[in-house]
Structure 1
Amino acid sequence: MLDKVCLGQAKEYFYCVSKAKQVTSKAVIPIKWNKPIPGWHKLNTDGASLGNPGKAGGGGLIRNSDGVWIRGYSRSIGYTTSVMAELWALRDGLSLAIQLGIRNLVVELDAKVIVKMLNNADNSNKKFSPLLFDCRSLMARFTQVQVAHVFREANRCADYLAKNGCCMREDFVIFDVSPSNELDNLLVFDRNGLYCYRQVASTLASVVSL
């Protein structure tokens, strides 16, 4: 009898303190670029670094509520990290939107770390704080501004312009129209609301058995 009690207590303890086995499965989710609502513009930005740190570039584009190209840009940044390149690209895009007189702006980028930095008042990282301060100051000049993280599949046009910046001879170029047929195709894809598909991992806890 005592043995059964001890065994029951041991099982209960094991269930309480042991880690459940993790079962990882794959899920495919649809992703697309979404047009901003009427009265708003959307800025997509991206940074690229060939080596991290390495030769870096930044870029982005502004589109209206019909998904129509307003302006695009690329910058050759030099030798730096991908985080620095992301911040450069964001600052350039915000400055360009202000020059165009845009008041309501949605900002999308595929770097979660930048979104966290913008939402965190901590400026302890002196390496990034000057660019962060500039970005926050520029954002304060809009009537309304929203910053959101998106998956890479919804940021492909900005990615193209960022990679273009890595290999440019010029320091900074503003494009009144799309600079290539390849980018034209990506723009049409986005404007028509077509989906890309991304495979993501989903983890489920399974019951532990003795």
Structure 2
Amino acid sequence: MSDLVKRRILSNNIFNLAGSITNAFCKAEGAAPSPRLIRWNNNNSRCTILNVDGSCLGVPICASFGGVFRDNTGTYIAGYSGYISHSQDILFAELTALYQRLRLAVNLNCEELACYSDSLLAINLIKDDLNHFHVYVVLIQNIKDIMVSRNFNLHHSLREGNQCANFMAKLGASSDVELTLHSSPLEDLLPLVRTDELGVLFMRR
């Protein structure tokens, strides 16, 4: 076998190997993203966990909020739901959900809390420097004041990991009561609480 043929064979082998590596590690153009598996998460915290959510549903639109307190294993401690009569803004609902429960945590003398919301906008408004011209500047400042007064931390949760709070927020829309406390989980909420306790994974794309 001549040197020229050997070089051509070697060149073809290298080209084929490079193609195999590219196909193995690079997504084809236009391919769907790989699915993500999401579950309720406590980030290995040992403190009380609070999940909050806001909601705007129905015709006409009804704004509401809700949330659930649990220990770090997912065991239910308390829940709440509420109706907002004077707003149809989802951001206001998300901020109200957070503010109402931080106040309750303070009243319960909770010194350490990990709070999760699926509203990245609301979280960024709390964590970033205060915009004094924002329409909800007073509410945002009140939340900031509570956060710095205690060992409270705020985290983002994808919706698949925030299903109990989402349930409570929608529950608030079904009532005209401004705030209702739930010392034990509602029957329809129990399957979601148990799912979170077990660490069941949900697919998100």
- Offset at 1:115? 1.1
More strand by percentage? 1
Instruction: Report whether the alignment pairs 1:190 with 2:196.
Output: yes
Instruction: Report whether the alignment pairs 1:172 with 2:179.
Output: yes
Instruction: Report whether the alignment pairs 1:65 with 2:66.
Output: no
The AA in structure 1 aligned to 2:161 is A
Aligned length: 177
More helix by percentage? 2
Contact 1:71–1:175, Cα closer than 8 Å, also in 2? yes
The AA in structure 2 aligned to 1:155 is N
Instruction: Report whether the alignment pairs 1:55 with 2:62.
Output: yes
Partner SS for 1:135: helix
- Offset at 1:56? 0.4
Contact 2:83–2:177, Cα closer than 8 Å, also in 1? yes
The AA in structure 2 aligned to 1:145 is F
Distance in 2 (CA, whole Å) between partners of 1:121 and 1:65 is 30
Contact 2:56–2:88, Cα closer than 8 Å, also in 1? yes
Change (3 A) 1:52 1:30: farther
- Offset at 1:109? 0.6
Distance in 2 (CA, whole Å) between partners of 1:38 and 1:149 is 14
The AA in structure 1 aligned to 2:195 is F
The AA in structure 1 aligned to 2:75 is V
Alignment partner, residue 139 of structure 2: 131
The AA in structure 1 aligned to 2:102 is L
Contact 1:56–1:77, Cα closer than 8 Å, also in 2? yes
Partner SS for 2:189: helix
What CA RMSD, in Å, does the superposition of the two structures yield over aligned residues? 2.0
Distance in 2 (CA, whole Å) between partners of 1:35 and 1:44 is 10
TM, length-normalised to structure 1? 0.78
Distance in 1 (CA, whole Å) between partners of 2:100 and 2:161 is 20
- Offset at 1:156? 0.4
More off after superposition, 36-45 vs 65-74: 36-45
Change (3 A) 1:123 1:52: farther
- Offset at 1:66? 2.2
Distance in 2 (CA, whole Å) between partners of 1:24 and 1:57 is 38
Instruction: Report whether the alignment pairs 1:111 with 2:119.
Output: yes
More off after superposition, 22-31 vs 148-157: 22-31
The AA in structure 2 aligned to 1:196 is F
For structure 2, which runs of at least 5 residues remain unmatched after alignment?
1-28
Distance in 1 (CA, whole Å) between partners of 2:117 and 2:59 is 18
- Offset at 1:37? 4.0
Alignment partner, residue 33 of structure 2: 26
Partner SS for 1:95: helix
Partner SS for 1:25: coil
Aligned with residue 88 of structure 1, among 91, 96, 116? 96
TM, length-normalised to structure 2? 0.80
Deviations 1:55-101 (A, max 9, x none): 10000011112211111100101232100000000001111111222
Aligned-pair identity (%): 27
